[in-house]
Amino acid sequence: MDAVSAVAGKRQAACTALLRQVREIHQRDGINAASLARIKGLLLDLAGAGTALFPEADFAMPQAHGRNHLLDEARDDGYGLYLTVSLPGKEAAPHDHGIWCLAAGLSGIEEQRFYRRTDDGRKPGFATVEQIGDARLEAGTAIAMADHDIHSTLVVGDRPSRALALYGYALTRFPAVVFYHPQFGTCRMLPSKRGPSAAAASMAQGNRP
């Protein structure tokens, strides 16, 4: 077995083990602040392997902005585990994924800002948010967000940001994502990628569609 395939095999085994633990926590305790904290610790431990499991050569750089490398096949409407690479200057306006998510830094720095919505949500296309916190995602740090938490991101410095990201659903099966534009007091929703069969399966499992 050559060095490349040996690393890939160890990485796959480590990712599979992580997701098995995540499923056990999810099934036993549900998703709440305490379980997300435990999952964050697991993801941080995996990221701690650094280049031993996640060498830069195995994950191509994006041609522009960012790129998500799938680490888990996310079969049966499962979780989505990725290695993300974001170029310096890449930013995302405040947004709500519609599903819980976590990230653990590998290298580089991504500034995270967290918000809460302050309007009642009754007026379509209108929204106000206020910042309630911030964090730096870099090696040795991790963040966890519950369903409908709001954050914005900005990669700072002259190095790409590399991180592990775990979502409640794979990116190709995401619910509707809402972007907020505080300077205009508006919001916009990206369509859900979840089809009727996926939504039905989610409801049967007691998850949010």
Among 8, 36, 34, residue whose Cα is nearest residue 22: 36
pTM for the full model? 0.89
* pLDDT classification of 198: cutoffs 50, 70, 90: very low
* Amino acid letter for position 151: H
DSSP class per residue in 107-168: ESEEEEEEEEE-S-S-STTB--EEEEEEEEE-BT-EEEE-TT-EEEEEEESSS-EEEEEEES
Contact by Cβ (8 Å): 35, 25: yes
- pLDDT value at position 64? 85
Nearest-CA neighbor of 163 among 192, 129, 139, 198?
A: 139
- Round to whole Å and give the CA distance between 177 and 163: 21
Q: Minimal CA–CA distance to 19: which of 73, 77, 79?
A: 79
Q: In whole angstroms, what is the distance from residue 131 CA to residue 112 CA? A: 11
Domains within the chain, CATH numbers bracketed: 3-197 (2.60.120.10)
Q: For the residues 149-172, what does the mean pLDDT come to?
A: 96
Residue whose entry in the numeric block shows the structure tokens 């290695």? 83
Q: How many CB atoms lie within 10 A of CB 66?
A: 16
Q: Is the pLDDT score of 131 beyond 50?
A: yes
Amino acid (one-letter) located at 87: L
State the average pLDDT over residues 140-159. Answer: 97
Q: Which of 5, 161, 33, 21 is nearest to 81 (CA)?
A: 21
- Mean pLDDT, residues 182-207: 68
Give CA–CA dist 52/135, Å, rounded: 26
| Token pair listed for 188 | 């916009």
What does the pLDDT read at residue 199?
42
Residue 2 binned pLDDT confidence (cut-offs 50, 70, 90): low
Task: Indicate if the pLDDT at residue 21 is higher than 50.
Answer: yes
